[in-house]
Structure formats: structure tokens, C-alpha cells
Amino acid sequence: MFSGGPTRSEETSSLRRKVSWTRVREQIIQGVLFLCSFLSIVTTLSIIYVLVTESLFAFPPHKAFFQEVSFYEFFTETRWTPQSDGPQQHFGVLPLVCGTMLITGISAMIGLPMGLMIAVYLSEYSSPRSRRWVKPALEILAGVPTVVYGYFALRFLTPMVIVPIFQDGLGLTVLGKNALSGGIVVGLMIIPMVASLSEDVLRSVPNSLRESGYALGSTKFDVSTKIVVPAALSGILASFLLALSRSIGETMAVTIASAGFPTITANPLTHIQTMTAFIVEVTQGEVVTNSIQEKSLYAVALMLFIITMMMNLISQWVLSRFREVYQ
């Protein structure tokens, strides 16, 4: 006689309960993940709804911004003075766009090549020990709050670097808040993004391509610049576009370092005002609810949203259109 052990039916019943609980747990996890993705979609649609209803089509008796200001004036007028009164009030967004593009251009000239060079070094030249030091340093750079970058530009970069070089050395006039210092700090901010994304695509290039280049007598520099980088060009361009979207949408660093009067200029040593800086200015001031000044905020925010969305869509198209697939 045998005693004590579970019967076959009891083992089968226990196994069924375990399988049933596992399925329930998987369904719960699937439901939570679906709710998270659904929440992101709802958030995006809510943002679009707010921007559109406040800028384009408002419900009566309220009027949207473009129901009071024409598209022609908004996109062609060269003066932006929404907080003025009477004939001094103008709603031309071109000065804000000019300031945003000036900051973006300066940051691109600094952040994109430096980020790519760091990515090439990490992917092709660095030893595992060097990579263990460089990668955390980049992560620390990415984790610094943007307001710190702004005060770094205002208190150190402008008075101790830009003024001695351009004003004391070259005799040019440098304002306390200028586009150059803002563009430089934004360029520093996008370096980690460019370096990280570009390194990922460079490391995904098969080693067989590198070995083929070495077999033909190429140096490491030739292999890196003429084989690896062209093979990963689609991912590199996508990282560039994402970084530019990041620089276009930067707010606090640009507001502290460069924000001033909105003007159309190509002089990086004077102050400018970006679209994000204007939004900060309006939200900090005493603006009457439902006034044209408040509605101008939503119009600028809608334009900024469209620009960044188009940049992201272009980066996705570049990545899918020119992606190299290796077997």
C-alpha cells in the first residue's frame, strides 16, 4: 500500500489552476499595457483638440485666434507685438520663427558633428574600458536640467567666453542675452541624443563589412568614414532630425540665455525670441482670459506642434526609406 502522495487527478487539477492563473495574469498585464498605450493616444488627441479649438475653430460665443487674425497676417507680417494695443498690435509670427531657426541652426552646427564624432569613437575606436567611462558621462550630460544650461550660458558662457572673444577681441557688440549662447547650450544638450542613437546604428553594421575593408588594406579611419558611416546613414540622419526637433522645442535654456524682443535678424550676438520663449512669457504675465493675447499663445503652440510633428514624421520616413537590411 502507498500513502501520502497526491493522486493523478489532484496533480492535474493543480496544474490546471496554475495554467488558469497564468492566463489571467497575462491578460491583466496585457490590459495594463493596452491602457498605457491608449492613454498616450488620448493625451495626444487631447493636445490636438485644445490647440485646434483655441486656434482655428472655437465654439460660440468665443472666437478662435484665426477667426480674429487672418492667416495672411500671421504668416507674412514681420512684426510680433500681440501685447500692444490698437494699431501697434501685430501678429506676424516670422520673428519668432526666425529666432527659433537661428537657435536651431547654431545648435546643429555644434551638436550634430560632435555627437556623430563621439558615436564613431564609441563604436569604432574605444576600448570597453573607455566606453564604460564615456557612456555614463553622456548620460549625466543628458540628465542635467535645462534650466541649469540656461544659467550656465547666462552667467558663464556669455560673460567669460563670448564677450572676451567677440566684443573685447573683435570689437563687436554683444548683448547680455544673445542667440549664440543659447544655441551653444542647446547644441550641448542634443549631443547625448545624437551620440547614443548614432552609436546604436553604427554598431548594428555587420562586422563583415569592416573586415572586407581591412582585407583591402584600408585603415580604421577609412573603414569608419567610407564604409561604416555610409552603411548607417539612414539611422544617423534620423537621429539628426530627432535632435533638431528637440532643439526646436527647447524652452527654459533658450528663455534664460537668449530671450528678448522678437526680431528678424541673422546676428547671433543679439537677443531673439523663440516660439517656446514667447509661450513662457505669456504664461508668466497677466493676460486676460479669452483675450487675443492668450489666443496667440495657442496659435504659436499649434505651429510649434506641427513643425516638430513634421520633423518626427520625416525622420521616420528617412529611417524606413533608406534603411539598409543586412543578412
pLDDT score of 8 more than 80: no
The string over 63-97, giving b where at least 16 C-beta atoms fall within 10 Å of a residue's C-beta and e elsewhere, is: ebbbeebeeeebeebebbebeeeeeeeebbbbbbb
pLDDT score of 84 more than 80: no
- The C-alpha angle with vertex 321 and arms to 317 and 324, in degrees rounded to 5, equals 130
CATH topology classification for 72-321: MetI-like fold (1.10.3720)
**pLDDT tens digit sequence for 85-143:** 777 778 888 999 999 999 999 999 999 999 999 999 998 888 888 888 888 888 888 88
**pLDDT tens digit sequence for 252-278:** 888 888 877 888 888 888 888 888 888
Query: Higher confidence at residue 325 or residue 317?
Result: 317
Domain ranges of the chain: 8-55, 72-321
pLDDT band of 43, cuts 50, 70, 90: very high
CA distance 66 to 178: 31
